[in-house]
Chain A
Amino acid sequence: MVALEKPSAPTQARTAAARQPGFSLPEVFWKWALLLPATLVVGALLIFPIGFTLVMSFTDWHMFRHGEPVAFVGFEQWQRLLTDQFVWQTLRNTMVFVLGVLPLEYAVGLIVALALNNCTHGKKFFRITFLMPLMISPVAVSLVIGRMIFHEDIGPLNDILVRVGVQPVHWLTDAKLAMLTLIIIDVWTATSFMILMLMAGLQSLPQEPYEAAVVDGASEWQRFQYITLPLLAPVTVTALLIRGLDAFKVVDIIKVVTGGGPGQATESVTLAVYDLGVKGGDLAYGAVGAYSLLIMMMLFTVLVLTFTRQMVRGVS
């Protein structure tokens, strides 16, 4: 990297001479003035609240209990977590959602990206079409797919099932199927991200191994299995990590389609934090829920990185 901070001596002399006095501010002013606004905003609106939530989780802060001072109670709120079935279930639900969504999105994403990479006509059309779901509001998608298409009485999916002679399915009121419905919606919206990442990965693959493989008489499948897949490992890890961490934060799809129901079968942690902390006013316990999600995400990151390290290293 070239730093402009310390120009060579003659340069400094010329610069100083050329500058009009009174109009030029010293470089060190610019250096810090450029960084300061972003630091202030991020510090005040991201870093401070993140720390504040952690502190809150050790208090007994409740929104609707006026007059009483807020007290520190140590790990009392965290102990509540141990025996609270509700928050555990939301953690489990979130986990199920992430583990359901990731393999599906990766599989579909890889198949579509490979097809797109081998496509000769209309590549641009398909590429743009596949980008579209990333721009559409998740709320709108959830309403259209979750509430309209999967509607149990007037939706087209059950209508088609009935026409071909199958029993209508309880997409939203059956606990297990409701989670599947949510996973399908997420696959619709987020597979595009996988396609995008894997396409970028495929396009940056070196050509030499393929040429060598053709000379050695490797079949198309062998080339995919022994060259493409291992070489894609780094992009795969990045894509799974980014998408996985994103999927842990799921809330809008669930809030719109099932509202966490039936019962609490599809309630995610983020939705629980909203319900407990914002709606219920139990701020401290909401903070505990939020941090348990963060801990789960960190565990996920560590697990993914340890399990994939060898896979990635094996390539390079």
Chain B
Amino acid sequence: MQRRKTIKTVIVYTVLIWWTLMLAAPIYWLVITAFKGPASINRGATYLPFVDFQPEFSAWDYIFISQRDKVIPPFVNSVVISLGSAALAVVIGSMAGYGLARYSYRIGRMGNDSIALSFLSQRMFPAAVLIIPFLLMYRDLGLLDTRQGLLLAYTAFAIPFVVWVMRDFFRGLPVEVEECALLDGCSRFGVLWRIALPLAAPGLVAVFVLTMIGAWNEYLFALVLSFSESVTVPLFLQVQTSVLRGTEWWNMAAIALLAVIPVVVAGLALERYITRGLTFGAVK
């Protein structure tokens, strides 16, 4: 019995460590590549700093000093667009989520559940059916290649998810507290602002972080709707592979590292909320 247990433990940790190494390898490669120089990359694969290559900082010099004016704007765009769209989507989406949790609606033959489901079903549609009308609409509205345009698009994509999650969340909150506040003369807005939202804070954090990460990493719409002014980080990264002089792997790696760090830090710090948000509604 004891031997069996030992074998089981060995298998369990072999699997866990194997997958950890699989996940860590590309990250390791990304980090060391960001500190390699042109010479040590084009010579062939090198693995250990100080052993088979000398760390250099040419990529960081490129980003922060020599090409700063080229590298910083995409990051500013991405920060503005991802934070802005996440905030907007959380406000609009949780309003609808709260409404669907507390009132009963009837639109045609649709009740609350059908309305919530018809929001959610928008997530199923592939982006392919959206890009062409977006291109035409944005061209006519003058929103092509603007931050506002991308911000608005990402807000729209995030709202169905926010509505779905926040509706479930608000339904889980006790309705009695809100009734009491209404009785004591608090307005509906006051109830929402002072009671429901603070109680729903964990859910709000989860959907905010998830929609922010989604917008930060989005690629296809950025590709279709922006050319120069509103280029975001993923698009800027991809463009690095097609520079005329050949790909500057060290610069690309450093930019990729900067693109990855903020969301990973935010994600890891709020891991508990994210796990909850991602599996919400799927497992009951």
Binds A, one of B54-62, B63-71, B199-207, B268-276: B268-276
Contacts of A4 in B (CB 8 A): 102-103, 175, 178-179, 182
Q: A4-B182, A15-B182, A139-B238 known; A149 and B126 CB under 8 Å?
A: no
Binds B, one of A74-82, A98-106, A195-203, A307-315: A195-203
Residue of B9, B127, B128 with highest tally of chain A CB at under 10 A: B128
Q: A135-B267, A277-B131, A293-B128 known; A18 and B122 CB under 8 Å?
A: no
Tell which of B103, B178, B252 touches A143, judged by Cβ atoms closer than 8 Å.
B252
- Find out whether the CB atom of B99 lies under 8 angstroms from the CB atom of A49: no
Residue of B nearest to A24 (CB): B187
Residues of A in contact (CB 8 Å), total 108
**What are the interface flags for B90-124 relative to A under an 8 Å C-beta threshold, 1 for contact and 0 otherwise?**
00110110111111110000001001000100101
Q: A37-B96, A131-B267, A131-B271 known; A249 and B128 CB under 8 Å?
A: yes
- Find out whether the CB atom of B282 lies under 8 angstroms from the CB atom of A238: yes
- Find out whether the CB atom of B271 lies under 8 angstroms from the CB atom of A5: no
Q: A115-B16, A144-B256, A290-B128 known; A156 and B45 CB under 8 Å?
A: yes
Interface size class of B (residues with CB under 8 A): 35 or more
10 sampled A-B residue pairs with Cβ under 8 A: A4-B102, A19-B185, A35-B105, A45-B134, A46-B160, A56-B132, A148-B29, A196-B275, A251-B219, A297-B126
Which of chain A's residues 236-258 have a Cβ closer than 8 Å to chain B? Answer: 238-239, 242, 245, 248-249, 251-252, 255-256
Residue of A nearest to B236 (CB): A139
Contacts of A251 in B (CB 8 A): 127-128, 219-220
Nearest CB of chain A from residue B206's CB, rounded to whole Å: 13
- Find out whether the CB atom of B42 lies under 8 angstroms from the CB atom of A154: yes
Nearest CB of chain B from residue A239's CB, rounded to whole Å: 7
- Find out whether the CB atom of A31 lies under 8 angstroms from the CB atom of B105: yes
**What are the interface flags for B128-142 relative to A under an 8 Å C-beta threshold, 1 for contact and 0 otherwise?**
111111111100000
**What are the interface flags for A179-197 relative to B under an 8 Å C-beta threshold, 1 for contact and 0 otherwise?**
0000000001000010011
Tell which of A19, A23, A144, A287 touches B26, judged by Cβ atoms closer than 8 Å.
A144
Judged by a CB distance under 8 angstroms, whether B237 is at the interface is yes
- Find out whether the CB atom of B238 lies under 8 angstroms from the CB atom of A39: no
Nearest CB of chain B from residue A46's CB, rounded to whole Å: 5
Contacts of A274 in B (CB 8 A): 128, 131, 220, 223-224
- Find out whether the CB atom of A23 lies under 8 angstroms from the CB atom of B159: no
Tell which of B96, B187, B234 touches A34, judged by Cβ atoms closer than 8 Å.
B96
- Find out whether the CB atom of A111 lies under 8 angstroms from the CB atom of B133: no
Residue of A nearest to B262 (CB): A135
Having A46-B122, A160-B45, A201-B283, one finds 5 other A-B pairs with CB under 8 Å, namely A46-B160, A114-B15, A115-B15, A239-B282, A255-B238
